[in-house]
Amino acid sequence: MINPTEHLGLLIIDLQSSLMSKTDDEIELLNRCSFAIQAALLLQCKVAVTEQSPTKLGSICDELRRILPEEIPVFSKDSFSAMDSSGIKKWIGDNQIEHLLLIGLESSICIYQTAVAALGENIGVTLLSDCIAERRIEDRQPVIQQLLSMDAHVLPSETIFYSLVGSAENPIFNEFTKLVKQYS
């Protein structure tokens, strides 16, 4: 049987409390990202976290830290692109990741620069549209248009994860639908 997540990675970018509090709807962002993380773990996707300048801005928010297994790698970064953080390219190579699902902050800065860098290295990119945010909502549309023109994909998290589940015949379908209901 083909594993649709074999070469897929979920990259959680900068979901630190100090940054999340600057977004328009921190609660909804936390809810959707929690769903995406739980779904990715259920589907056995590779998962990693980045933290922007954690000594100044703090670590990933406690709510997300609680749902992440301890072995999930956390990469500190000072550059805006996660692709420049120490160890991320090794994680991608070691896990044979060919496509990244991006969630987190900020769509017009770190998400954008990470997507551009990954695409430049022939790594596919999908932004989970309901799992990204920014301080200035008016920045989102031009960023998404630009990334689409560069062959990135932008889709809601349920669309992506239902596609990966494939059908109600999948052995994890019932557990997955419980997640959907929990986070709806």
Question: Phi, psi at residue 124, to the nearest 5°?
Answer: -65, 155
Q: Please report the pLDDT score of residue 157 as a whole number.
A: 97
Domain count, the chain: 1
The residues near 74 (Cβ < 8 Å, ≥ 6 apart) are 48, 49, 50, 51, 59, 60
What CATH number does residue 68 fall under? 3.40.50.850
Q: Which residues pair with 11 in a beta bridge?
A: 48, 102
Res 110 pLDDT > 80? yes
Q: Is residue 49 part of a domain?
A: yes
With respect to residue 145, please indicate whether it lies within any of the assigned structural domains: yes
Question: Do the Cβ atoms of 12 and 48 come closer than 8 Å?
Answer: yes
In a domain, residue 43? The reply is yes
- Point out which residues pair with 16 in neighbouring strands: 60
Q: What is the mean pLDDT of the chain?
A: 94
Average pLDDT, integer, range 13-17: 95
> DSSP letters of 13-80?
E--BHHHHTTSS-HHHHHHHHHHHHHHHHHTT-EEEEEEESHHHH-SB-HHHHHHS-TTS-EEEESSS
pLDDT computed for residue 1 by the predictor: 43
Q: pLDDT tens-digit profile of 58-98?
A: 999 999 999 999 999 999 999 999 999 989 999 999 999 99
12, pLDDT greater than 50: yes
Show the domain range for 167.
Answer: 8-182
